[in-house]
Amino acid sequence: MAMVIVEEVARKLGGQTVLGQVVRSQADLALAVRNRLPLSALHGLSQAGLTEQEIEKFVIPQRTRRHRADKRQPLTVDESDRAVRLLRVQSLAEQTFGDRAKANRWLRRPLMELGGETPLVVAQTEAGARVIETILGKIDWGAAA
């Protein structure tokens, strides 16, 4: 994953203010995930164009989120990981297409090579996210998408 994507993901999560640390590398980002992201980091997913329903489906259910907010608890490591993964794929799509709206449309479009699934659904797992990153890499290099 390119440095610029790591820094973009960190920025979208709220940067040092929200993460409590400067993120300059994949190792820094991994540490932030292990330390559990604050709930406020989810704001970055909304800003990036993910809907509340998508955040609920792919990261944390609304009810759980409210419960955490009441108890002032951060996301779990798994939830933090899912949030970072989605932002990583979204940021890479944005970089590939050079346009947030275009990237977000592509992420929701069923693709034949994904068996008719959307990139957003496939990116729920790390293995799936790697597939999406490979497809984006091919698009970036001008191969037929």
| Average confidence score pLDDT of the chain | 93
Residues 6+ apart with CB under 8 A from 1: 26, 88, 92, 133
For residue 43, is pLDDT > 80?
yes
Q: 142 pLDDT exceeds 90?
A: no
In DSSP notation, the chain reads --HHHHHHHHHHTTHHHHHSS---SHHHHHHHHHT---GGGGHHHHHTT--HHHHHHHT--HHHHHHHHHHT----HHHHHHHHHHHHHHHHHHHHHT-HHHHHHHHTS--GGGTT--HHHHTTSHHHHHHHHHHHHHHHTT---
Tens digit of each residue's pLDDT (9 = 90 or more) over 56-81: 999 999 999 999 999 999 999 999 99
Would you list the domain boundaries of the chain? Answer: 3-140
pLDDT tens per residue, range 2-40: 778 999 999 999 999 999 999 999 999 999 999 999 999
